[in-house]
Structure 1
Amino acid sequence: MKVLAASTDPVYTRSATPTKLAVWISRYLQDERDLPFAYLMLQITATMLPLAAALFVPALRGNAWWWALYGVFFYLSNARFKGPFGLMLHCTSHRVLFKKKYGWLNNYIPWVLGPLFGQTPESYFTHHMGMHHPENNMPDDESSTMFYQRDSVRGFLRYLGDFMVVGVPRLVGYFSRRNKTTLRYRLLRGEVIYFVVTLVLCFVNLPATLAVFVVPFVLSRVIMMLGNWAQHAFIDADAPDNCYRNSVTCINTPYNHKCWNDGYHISHHLKPALHWSDHPAHFRNNLDKYADNEAIVFDGIHFLHIFFYLMAKRYDLLARHFVLLDGTARTELEVTDLLRSRTQRIALPVLHTAVA
C-alpha cells in the first residue's frame, strides 16, 4: 500500500517563448493546450502515411524491403504511436481540436489517420460518446463489464468475443432503441466505407491490405476492450452507477505522460469534457470525495498492469500500488478483500436491488 505522494503527472505550462510553428498552429486550435496533438498528427502524417503507401507499391511486394518497411510500420503503429494516437482520438472526441472556422480539419484524425490504427472512421466516437458515457457501464451500455467475472481469463475472452462478433450490431440496436438516428447513420457509414475500401484493396494488394488495415483493426479492437475491461474492472455491486465506485484512477505513472492523463478514469466519467491537463488538479481538489466513496486509486501502474495482474489473480501486486487516500493504515488482506469484492460478476437480481 502507498500513501498519497506528490503528483508527477503532466499539467499544462504555457511556453514563455513559443516557436513560430506553435504560434501558427495555435491559430487553428480550439485550445492551445492541445498543441501536443497537432505535433503528434504531424509526426504520424510524416511517417506512417508514406510507409502505408509504400507497402502498396507493386515492385516491393514480397521482397525484403517490403518486410523491412512493414516492420517499421508495425513498430510505429503498435509500439510508438498506438497509445498516444488512441487517447488523442479519445480526447478530441470529447473536445474538438480545431476551431469551428476550420471544422473540416476535425475529420482528419478519424478518417485519415484512424484507419492506420485499425479505427473504423466513426465507430469510436459513436460508441464512446453516444453510448458508453451516457450509460456509464450500466446494463444498457453494450460494452458493460458488470456481468462478467472481471479477474477471469474466461470472462474476458467471452467479453472480447461478444464485442468482436456482435459489438457493432448491438450498438446499432442501441441507437435504434434510443432513437439516435444520426449516430446510427455515422456508425454505419464509417463501418461500410471502411470495409468496402478494405475489400477492394484486398484485390489490389492483399499483403499490404492485411498489413495496413486488417491487422491493425483486429489489434485495435482487442486493445480497446482490454482497456475498457481494466478501467471498469472494479465495481461496487451496491452502487454500480457511482463513478467513484465503478471505475479506477491511476496516478504517477509514465503512461499518463504518454497518453494524456488517461489514468484518471474516475474524474473522466465525472466530468467527461474536462481537459486532459486538468485531471491531476481535479483529483487533488476532490480527495475527500474519493476517500468517502472508497474509490480505488493506484500509484505507479496503469491499465495494462491492472489487466494482467487481474488475469493472474495477483491481488497482492495490486495492493502494493493501492493508495491509502485518507491515510488510514490497512493490512494487505483488507485491501485485497476490497479489490476482490469489486471484481465479482454482478447478477441482474443483485443489480436491481442495488439501484432500486
Structure 2
Amino acid sequence: MSDAVEEVTRAQLRHGLRIATLLVAAAVVFGLGLSSLLRHLDAYEPSLAQLVAFAALGAVLGGEAALLARGRSWDRLRGPAIAVVLAVSALSYVTLPDGRTSTGVDWIFGAANWVGLVVLLDRPLRAAALFLLAHDLTALLHLVLLDEPSRGDLARFATGSVSVIGFPLCLAVVATVLRSLSAAAAAARREAEQVRVAEAVAAESHRRRQQRFAELSTTTIPLLEGLADGSLRPEDPLVQRRCAIEAARMRRLFAETDTVANPLLHELRHCIDVADRKGVVVELDARGQWPEPPVAVRRDLTEAVLIVLATAASRARVTAVGSADVLSVSVVADCGEVNVPSPVTPGVRVEALNNGNTVWMEARWQPIRQRTS
C-alpha cells in the first residue's frame, strides 16, 4: 500500500511529465498539423471534415490542460477521449485525397498519435502501444483499401510509421520508467524513515531502561544487596515489608509502559496483586471519570496504596474517585502504623488517619489547579 511519501513523489513526477507531453502534443498539433492543414485545405473533400477533426483534437488537448490545472486525471473520461481521437482520425482519412496517405497532406497521421499519448500517458505501456497500433492501422487500411499503393507508397508509409509510433512510444517508455523510479525512490525513502523510527524507538527504550534502573537503584538495589551479603535477614518482618513494597513498586514501574485505557487503575491493580499473593483480600472500587494523570502524579497517587497494602494483615479496600477537577485514591487496611509518603509532584496531597489497627490513607490530586498555578 502506497504511503503519503510515495504518493507525493509519484504525483510530482507524473505532473511534470504530463505538462511536458502536453506541450509537445500542442506544438505538433497547433504547429505542424495546423500549418499542413491550412496549406492543403483546398485538397480535402469536404474540408469541413478536416476542420472538425482538428477541432476535436484541440478539444482533447484543452481537456488535458483543464485537468492539469485542477490536479485531476481523465479517469472515466479516458475511454471516450481515445474513442474521439480514433474516430476523428478515421473521419480525416475518409476525406483525404487518394494517394496522399502519410504525406504532407495527411496532417493527422503525425498529430493524433501525440494527442492519444497525452490521454494514455499515466496508463500502462501496453495501453499506449495498442492505441498507436490502432492509429497506424487506420492509416494502413485507408492506404490499402481506398488507394492502389505502389511499393514506393508502402515504403513511405513504413518510414512514416517509424516516427509516428516510435517517438510517442519512446516517451511512453520514459513515463513507465519514471513511474518505476518514483516507486523505487519512495520505497527507499520509506525504508529510510522506518530505519530512523526504529533508531528513535531503540534510543527511547534505552533511555527508559536507564531511567528505570536509576529509579530502582535508590531503594530496590540496596535491599537486594543487603539480602545478598547477609546484612538483612529474610525472616525479619521489616525486611519482608520492604520487599513487599519494592515488589509493588517494580510491578507498578513495569505497568507504566503498558498502553491501556485507564493507566491509573491498571497500575493500582498491579500494586494490589502483590497483596493478593500474600493472602490479603483487597477490594478495588472506581467511581467517576478523570483526565489521565502524568506518570509522576500516578506514582504519588499509588505510593500511599502500595505502602499500606504491603503492611495489611488480612483485608484492604482501595477506592479511586475522580472528576475533571479532582482525583482521589484512598486505601483502608488492617495494618499497624505506617509512614506517610511525601509526594514529589506539586498539586498532590497525602493524608492519613490511624484508628487502632486500621489505617486510612488518601492521596489527592487537583489537575486544574496544577495547570493554572
Shorter-chain TM range is: under 0.3
Higher fraction of strand: 2
Higher RCO (CA < 8 A, seq sep 6+): 1
**Of the two, which has the highest radius of gyration?**
2
The two structures have a TM-score, normalised by structure 2, of 0.19
